Amino acid sequence: MMKTPLHEYETVVLVHDLGYLPLKAGDVGAVVHVYPDDETFEVEFVTGEGKTVALVTLSRSDIRPMRHREILHVRALAA
């Protein structure tokens, strides 16, 4: 199966909760750096107001591209 390439500035979706950060499956982030292996990415997650929640290094298995017919959903961060 061919992997879909991910590029800088691409919108991606977290595929599972990150227990060490306030991020949950379905949260949307932006790729800000693609490492040379094309398997590791720096992804930024922000609030609706643009405040960075996390800038985290993730692997391809942690994220997926946003799909064409998906819609964003809002949730509050845990205190």
Token pair listed for 12? 């991606």
- Provide the residue ranges of all domains of the chain, joining segments of one domain with +: 11-59
Question: Residue 1: what pLDDT?
Answer: 57
- pLDDT tens digits along 40-54: 999 999 999 999 999
Alpha helices in the chain (DSSP H): none
pLDDT tens for 3-37 read 778 999 999 999 999 989 999 999 999 999 999 99
Q: What is the pTM of this model?
A: 0.91
Q: For residue 63, what is the DSSP state? A: E
DSSP label of 70: -
Q: How many CB atoms lie within 10 A of CB 54?
A: 17
What's the rounded Cα separation, in Å, for the pair 39 and 50? 26
Containing H/E element for 64? Answer: strand 63-65
What is the H or E stretch that residue 65 is in? Answer: strand 63-65
